[in-house]
Chains A and B, each alone.
Chain A
Amino acid sequence: EAGVAQSPRYKIIEKRQSVAFWCNPISGHATLYWYQQILGQGPKLLIQFQNNGVVDDSQLPKDRFSAERLKGVDSTLKIQPAKLEDSAVYLCASSPLSRLAGDHYEQYFGPGTRLTVT
């Protein structure tokens, strides 16, 4: 079974530029997550999709970050304009549909995109 795919793997941009990341989840996984992981910290959830609907975007800086999951499959995360503090690894994860609180569905993570903003 293919894992979660992400591209690009690395990106270097200057502040105020824009950047987009792409994620293709495991086939059949209804739930897709975008996380930001700053060096030395745990992943922080930015946005969670269930099929193509957003169920949590409470920690997404909406003035500069946007994400979409058209057709309920792959997803893109965009930053516009980027700031120095956006330098981090952006992880995409997917899991089967969670129907009940406490459902034991582990999240499968992609390799991540390492973003450096200079």
Chain B
Amino acid sequence: GQNIDQPTEMTATEGAIVQINCTYQTSGFNGLFWYQQHAGEAPTFLSYNVLDGLEEKGRFSSFLSRSKGYSYLLLKELQMKDSASYLCAVSRGGYNKLIFGAGTRLAVHP
């Protein structure tokens, strides 16, 4: 079967750095996506990792270790608008099916 685990909630201070972890177990792994979802809105794409290592994109970075079944999303210089749910999703199989985790709800406070 497949299993994706990420913390349910996290809090952080404006201007700080936060790391959201995701562990997964799945067959037919292709790559790993991170999506951001503000309350009441649709998910929007943040990053995609297919190879081991760190992908950096502005204030956001994502890391993948395929051998450990582990990824993290790193958010730097936190802003209030970063308060949202962050969804870890594994792409698997020949048609790149996405399996989403339950999401981590991040609250950024002043």
Contact = CB atoms under 8 A, between A and B. Distances in A.
6 nearest A-B residue pairs (beta carbon): A42-B100, A109-B42, A106-B45, A102-B30, A55-B95, A98-B96
Interface string A21-42: 0000000000101000000111
Most buried by A among B42, B44, B100: B42
Interface stretch (B11-19, B57-65, B74-82, B85-93): B85-93
B100 A103 contact: no
B9 to A, nearest CB: 11
B100 A101 contact: no
A41 B30 CA distance: 23
A53 B100 CA distance: 23
Interface of A is mostly: loop
Interface residues of B, number: 26
Interface of B: 4, 28, 30-31, 33, 41-45, 48, 50, 87, 89, 91, 93-103
A101 B94 contact: yes
Interface residues of A, number: 26
A43 B87 CA distance: 9
